[in-house]
Copies of this chain bind each other. A is one copy, B any other.
Amino acid sequence: MAKSVDVGELVDRARAGQPRAIGRLISLVEDAHPQLPEIAAALVPYAGHARIVGLTGPPGVGKSTTTAALISALRASGARVGVLAVDPSSPFSGGALLGDRIRMTEHATDSGVFIRSMATRGHLGGLAWASPQAIRVLDAAGFDVVLVETVGVGQSEVDVVSLADSTVVLLAPGMGDGIQAAKAGVLEIADVFVVNKADRDGADLVERDLRQMISLARREIRGPSWRQPIVRSVAPRGEGVDELVAALDKHRDWLAAHDEFAVRRQRRAESEVQAIAIERLRARFGDIRGAAGRSVLSTAAGRVAAGELDPYAAADQMIAALDG
């Protein structure tokens, strides 16, 4: 049994900006705590004010350095910044945790910054329902900007980041075949491109290839009339970071002018609600019992394994059992 939590008190303390309460709420999300419905209900009225910015890119592109520089720039303008590093839920780690690395920087003692890594190992599809809830914690806690970034490159991590209000895709020279290192999918999720390590050989080539990809692609791919800007940066020196902030501000203004904020928030909410509904149905599947007391799933799967039933017919039996 998970320990019972005083949700009202915890949410009050998180809203007062207490880092321990904020961290505890995110841990409860990670652990799929049974009181999550109550927690979500308590947070929903206070959420919806933060600007959600997603950051993704291939490993080694400089995501953590860029995030650290972005935090500095946002802090300089007075914004409180929450960072959620979506950790690859893989049994194989991919280097130091982003959050851990950033935490060691100058932001460690700044109370206007909260940085947290989140993993959902062992929950298939877990990121889809857990990430929006962790973002909601930071949003309700009053952070003006919530940066969500991937540590991994799995589809589910990238999906989550691309549900932000604005999504930044980072590329850099010297990553395999340059722009070839990014598949066509990045065009669909990027609102702003960053070519990091712009002082290195090959940065011009990456930018040129990127421009070509953008002009070849349909312009409307991320909504009408928005042209994805390309910002060049050298993140460790802070070069290009003001330009990135400016590009993000321009995108925010564009979202507001085209009613796209509402579209994106709707899309994010649909993704979250669907992920929660599917999680609940998944749990029910195992619980539905047939005539002999054995679960319907187990019986149907046994017939599939024996070659007597095809898996689609078995799935239809499951759904029929669910309906009544």
Contact = CB atoms under 8 A, between A and B. Distances in A.
| Chain A, interface residues (CB within 8 Å), range | 35 or more
B182 A92 contact: yes
A66 B273 CA distance: 43
A323 interface: yes
A142 to B, nearest CB: 15
A173 interface: no
A33 interface: no
A149 to B, nearest CB: 13
A310 B154 contact: no
- Identical copies in the complex: 2
A281 interface: yes
A178 to B, nearest CB: 12
A183 interface: yes
Contacts of A268: 305
A92 B57 CA distance: 7
A20 to B, nearest CB: 24
Nearest to A125: B125
Given A93-B182, A158-B90, A273-B315, A47 B307 contact: yes
Interface of A: 36-37, 40-41, 43-48, 56-59, 88-95, 121-122, 124-125, 128, 132-133, 152-159, 176, 180-186, 188-189, 262, 265-266, 268-270, 272-274, 276-278, 280-282, 285, 297-298, 300-302, 304-316, 318-319, 322-324
8 contacts: A37-B312, A44-B310, A89-B154, A90-B153, A92-B181, A124-B155, A156-B156, A274-B315
